[in-house]
Structure 1
């Protein structure tokens, strides 16, 4: 069924954000920065038709991941218009160099990834696919892998105070690596090989991570200390320890918490939380329970038996 778009011009003044979204229609509008990628979470429960438009610019690339389905949009080309249905985990990739105009139909929730041209080059080099200068354009393409990677960021949007720089940097590297390997216009090449850190680099990386238990150290800082790129360092750290830097740091914090919970001189769970780099006691309890399977208080009681 063909639907004629409404006439927006002159009807009323619409205030839009940097991605062309009418701000009055957004029920969620959040932003996070991670390494080479800017993350945005945008949602609307509005059933009314609204339009997104951005003029050409040199900002780079925009990738959208639908976190829910039942969304439709009419994308206007130079001489025609196309309808696209976005199911859950459907994505689009578009270049800011191209003028964009689309009517959005129905509620939506998208995670947007904005990648500057120089950032795309760095991501490609760190992912061992140097030579990527652009991504293949996509629209309404199903990608559950990118959808699941993106959902790992939702807790960071919901509790930004607990979103450590280490976690965001690591997620940006993982997502960026997947994107350039899956959608990059690149020369033919092999799959990155397994790599391991030297014993000296492994010990140095762990020492730097332990010096900042709250996770506010960046991957770039640790990698630079080891004279490695971020992407290489993350893969080598994982191949060496069996965990990503963030996973290893969380495990180290939990091990330290268990030692403190056994100490009779420390009675307050809030004090344990602070000494282990957690934002507060509730943050400590959530992470501890997710890793150990029980609350810190219950674990302490069992350990004292």
Structure 2
């Protein structure tokens, strides 16, 4: 009988640990969603990790670790990819806008840096890519 009570106690303890783990996972998932939302809302401005951490009321190191753990990307990699996606969308919507205008609209501070990033990820320069859309 004593063995049975001990087993029940362990079972209850395990259920409690599972619930705690699920709550922690839910909390982490919520943070990831909030980080992504912050990036999507502020992508066209200068974003610093400290700003996001302060907005979510968590430490910068926890923010960085958590996002990388769940997504496999750094927050800055995610930000740059999101900006690139927005640039591509704007380029299709406003084919007559200058590359400089569009990259500025998407938060890229340097046209030269943007062009290098674009070529690395798309395989051509922004101007060459624009020609394929026409």
TM range (shorter): 0.5 to 0.7
- The SS at the match of 1:277 is coil
Equivalent residues, number = 110
Q: Which has the higher helix share?
A: 2
Counterpart among 231, 239, 250 of residue 80 in structure 2? 250
Spell out, residue by residue over 1:206-261, the C-alpha distance to the aligned partner (whole angstroms, 9 max, x if none): 22223332563321221233332211111110112221000000000000111111
| TM-score, reference length from structure 1 | 0.33
RMSD: 2.4
Cα distance change, pair 281–221 in 1 and its aligned pair in 2 (3 A): closer
Residues of 2 paired with 1:265 and 1:292: CA distance?
18
Counterpart among 37, 54, 58 of residue 228 in structure 1? 58
Equivalent position of 2:118 in the other structure: 288
CA drift of 1:292 comes to 1.9
Residues of 2 paired with 1:241 and 1:207: CA distance?
14
Write the mapping of 1:260-275 to structure 2, written as runs, cut at 5 A. 260-275=90-105
> Contact (CA 8 Å) 1:209, 1:249: kept in 2 or not?
yes
| TM-score, reference length from structure 2 | 0.68
Cα distance change, pair 199–266 in 1 and its aligned pair in 2 (3 A): farther
Write the mapping of 1:132-281 to structure 2, written as runs, cut at 5 A. 198-213=28-43, 216-281=46-111
Spell out, residue by residue over 1:85-138, the C-alpha distance to the aligned partner (whole angstroms, 9 max, x if none): xxxxxxxxxxxxxxxxxxxxxxxxxxxxxxxxxxxxxxxxxxxxxxxxxxxxxx
Cα distance change, pair 226–266 in 1 and its aligned pair in 2 (3 A): same
Equivalent position of 1:173 in the other structure: none
> Contact (CA 8 Å) 1:215, 1:249: kept in 2 or not?
no
Q: Which has the higher strand share?
A: 1
Structure 2 gaps, min length 5: 1-23
CA drift of 1:289 comes to 1.3
Spell out, residue by residue over 1:56-99, the C-alpha distance to the aligned partner (whole angstroms, 9 max, x if none): xxxxxxxxxxxxxxxxxxxxxxxxxxxxxxxxxxxxxxxxxxxx
Equivalent position of 1:36 in the other structure: none
Residues of 1 paired with 2:124 and 2:81: CA distance?
15
